[in-house]
Structure 1
Amino acid sequence: MTATWKIELVPVPVTDVDRAKAFYERIGFHADHDHRVHEKLRFVQLTPPGSACSISLGEGITDREPGTQEILVVVADVEAARRQLTDAGVDAGEVEVLSWGRFVHFRDPDGNRWSLQALDNRPNG
């Protein structure tokens, strides 16, 4: 029997935790936790709408440089997701149509890159 693996949390490096938290809340993420564990560790967890996987940001979370994270998210309707972003004041790219899906790209205030992909069909697994 193969063990089931589910991604739970992806760290996102940021320069200003409060600015990043406000950005992600503005585009529809739910703020699950915001806890200062101690002086050098603040843990903020946010979850995209409908996702089983969250992101974490804060102080003492990751050694990565802000702006270096890339995350791909699958959405049911890429046009609706783009409208949600632009309605929130985010500079989202135009819908890009490729043979393996339709994409929209945007960056958070620190330059971390997000790709939203709508799949016409996805293998079950």
Structure 2
Amino acid sequence: MNWTLEVVTVPVTDLDRAKEFYGERCGFTVDLDTEVAPGMRVIQVTPPGSRCSIAMQSGLPRMPGTKEMSPGSLHGLQLCVTDLDAARAELVGRGVDVSPLMHVGAAGWEDGKGDRWNSFMTFQDPDGNGWVVQEAPSELSER
């Protein structure tokens, strides 16, 4: 049996602002913006090329056995791209505040790109949820 990660819920305070950030500024596809029941809204966006989407919601009851997440509390979600320089340029061109490129070195985080699998940048959404973008070898995109 395959277990696929298809949706990650990101806690936000303002659905319209989050939709604009992820859809317009990050360039993710807005797959869904609907009221699933009175007062219960779901927006789902998907990064280009990803099978996993991001859901943002309001008014829905919490799933049994889960804890409430506050806006800005989600950190370390990681996206992978085959060209980190191009991805950074695209985000900056769309008005996203993105960190400089960095890699892990002998002294910890160091400026600039590193070797294979060791080049990163970060950004945050308007609520402070933190994202990491890693450059992955292009042959992985052909799987």
Q: TM-score by structure 1 length? A: 0.88
**Which residue identity does 2:102 align to in structure 1?**
E
**Which residue identity does 1:5 align to in structure 2?**
W
Instruction: Please give the per-residue CA displacement for 1:49-85, whole angstroms capped at 9, x wherever unaligned.
Output: 1101000002035631000112111111111111111
- Aligned partner (choices 14, 17, 34) of residue 16 of structure 1: 14
Q: How does 1:17-32 map to 2 (within 5 A)?
A: 17-26=15-24, 27-32=26-31
Larger Rg: 2
Alignment partners' CA distance in 1, 2:118 and 2:3:
24
Between 1:6-15 and 1:93-102, the stretch displaced more is 93-102
Q: TM-score by structure 2 length? A: 0.78
Gaps of 5+ in 2: 63-67, 105-114
Match of 1:96 in 2: 102
Alignment partners' CA distance in 1, 2:136 and 2:36:
39
Alignment partners' CA distance in 1, 2:119 and 2:4:
24
% identity of equivalent residues:
42
Matched, 1:81 2:80: no
Q: CA RMSD in A?
A: 2.0
**Which residue identity does 2:19 align to in structure 1?**
K
Question: C-alpha displacement at 1:119, in angstroms?
Answer: 2.4
Between 1:31-40 and 1:58-67, the stretch displaced more is 58-67
